[in-house]
Structures are given as structure tokens and as C-alpha cells.
Amino acid sequence: MNFPEPHYVDTNGLKMAVYEQGPKDGVPVVMCHGFPELAYSWRHQIPAIAKAGFRAIAPDQRGYGNTGGPKGQDNIPLYDIAHLTDDLAGMLDALGLDKAVFAGHDWGGMVVWQMALRHPDRVAGVIGVNTPFMPRGPIDPIEGMRMVFGEDMYIVYFQNFGVAEGIFDKDVARSMRFWYRKSAMKLADFDKLPAEQKNLSFINSFAADESEWPGEQLLNAEEIDYYTKAFQKSGFEGGINWYRNFTRNWKDSESLVEKVNAPSLMISAADDIVLRPEMTEGMEQYVPDLEKHVIPDCGHWTQSEKPDELNTLMVDWLKRRFG
């Protein structure tokens, strides 16, 4: 695959790796990855968006890939949502851009919705891929997840500094093969499982022999190798630190006005068991200018599982709203 080489910009204390294609005078579309992803996770979308006449931009975000970030337990607060959104605003400054359309998948989706609240003057539009706008809840989200799912739920488990990254760093290639799998189960079938099998305890599955892992391998050997080399370089600590700021982000967001004024597109995946399509219900209350779609027969890794369908939806909306 002809994936671009990065160039580097200084932003918010980072030397951020940025990957670009498309005309410099095109409307910029910034694509933000989740965990455990990279700018490379948008490899199928970048050329399609560039070909449509837009300036496609994808960074390796704080803690990831060729950007990396500070290490050590004392630096966990440097991975909160304020830093993650300030990184992107600073990236726009470094690129000489006033504003951009921001697209985000998984954690990247949370970042781009927050960009629209924290830096509204820099956001021309928002595209959520799997990740809906999630309003601030009434209780600390980690305590809420702990009550519903227990200590083994992966986000709760991630709160223990050094533990999960210690497991994943031991054999990075195995870790990437574990994460990047196409689910063998429809969402409706998942919902029929007994409660103890629905606690999202991925660590227990990871400990099993690879032959017992559910689903099928999603990526080819070249793609797994790319991710493996990137995470061997950065480690998993930075990415997992994003999860360790759920409580801090919740406390910090108390005074935010929860209204996204930019035109927005929400693309859900029909069989994502974590970011379920029904989570978009009622989004219009917070995102008035909203268009919604659901990609059928698609699990969590939408950019790789259904690239053509995703590209069609993104490009069509971008052309209609920003062409």
C-alpha cells in the first residue's frame, strides 16, 4: 500500500508525526485514530478522501507510533482530553490551517467530539466513526463501568498503571493479532450470552491459546508487521494512559456547554459490541445538524472491515457539505 511518509510538526510539547495526501488547498480533513491504532489505521480512507479533492491529514497521536510521548506514572495527566485536543489545535497552527473537518474512530471519536466543544472555532465539521457523541454522565465513568461490568472489564483493568502494557509489550505481534480480529458474532447473538460472558474482559481472552481466540484475523502479514514495529517503538503505555484519564476528563468537563454546532456525520457499525449503534439515539439533542448511517455486517474495526462502504459515506457527505 502506498502509505505516505510522515512529516513532523511541533505542537503542545510534542514532535507530532503527520501523514498527508491530497491538494494543499483542499478542505482539510483530519482523521484521528483510537486504541490500539495509528494514522495508518486510515490507510484506506486517506487516498479516497485525497482523490475527492480534500486535504487528507492523519496524525500519530500523543503516545503513539512516530509521535510517542512522555512515559512514567507521574505523566498520566499529560494524556487527558485537554492535552489531546490541544495537540490537534496546535497541529492546525503548525500547518497554517484555520479549521478542519475532524473524523475520529474509537478513542479518536471521543477526541473529535470534544474538539467541537473545546475548540469550536477550529472545527468545520465532525465525522464520528463508531463513536457517538456521549454527554457527560452523572457519575464518575470508571465507577459506573466498575459497577456494571466488574474489575475485569478492560477499561477498569487498564486503570492499574504498568499492568496491561506489561502484558501487551511482551509480544507485540501477538498483541496486534489479538486486537485486530473480525468478530464471529452478530450483536444480537452477543446479547443472548449469559451476563458473565459479556463483561468485556478481553484480558482473560488474551491469556488463552491463540487457536482459541474468537473471530478471524482481519489484517494481512504486511499490516500486522507495520503495527508491530510501531508499537515496539512506542509501547502501549501512552495509549492506555488515555483510558486512565476518564475520571479526570469527567471532572474537567463539568462546566462545558454540550452543544456541537458544526455539521456532523455519524457512521455506526451494526455489530460493534462496545460502541453499539443504539448509543446514537438522542444525539440530535446535542448535535442538531446531524446525519446518521449504519454499516451492516461490520464490527469495531470499520476502516479495515468495510473500507469501501466507509469511504463512500464519508466522501459523499464531505462533497455535499464542503465540496
> Could you tell me which of 72, 91, 82 has the C-alpha nearest to residue 8?
91
> Which residues participate in catalysis according to the annotation?
106, 243, 300
Kindly list the distances between the CA atom of residue 37 and the CA atoms of 84, 90, 166, 236, 245, in Å, as whole numbers in the listed order: 15, 21, 18, 10, 18
40 has pLDDT over 90: yes
Nearest-10 crossing angle of helices 81-95, 107-118: 70
- The arithmetic mean of pLDDT across residues 153-168, rounded, is 96
Report the pLDDT value the prediction gives residue 196, as an integer from 0 to 100: 76
User: Looking at per-residue confidence, does 285 or 323 come out higher?
Assistant: 285
For 42-72, b/e burial (b = at least 16 CB within 10 A) is: bbebbbbbbebbbbbbbbbbbbbbbbbbbee
In 3D, which of 148, 32, 174 has the Cα closest to residue 91?
32
Residue 245 has pLDDT above 90, yes or no: yes
Taking the model in full, what pTM does it have? 0.97
Computed over every residue of the chain, the mean pLDDT equals 96
CB 200 within 8 A of CB 239: no
Q: Which grid coordinates are listed for 105?
A: 474512530
194/144: higher pLDDT? 144
pLDDT at residue 1, rounded to an integer: 64
pLDDT band for position 195 (50/70/90)? confident
Alpha-carbon distance of 31 to 204, in angstroms, equals: 31
Residue 205: what pLDDT?
85
Reported for 76-79, long-range contacts at CB under 8 A and 24+ positions apart, including other chains, are 76/161, 76/241, 76/244, 76/245, 77/245, 77/248, 78/241, 79/238, 79/241, 79/242, 79/244, 79/245
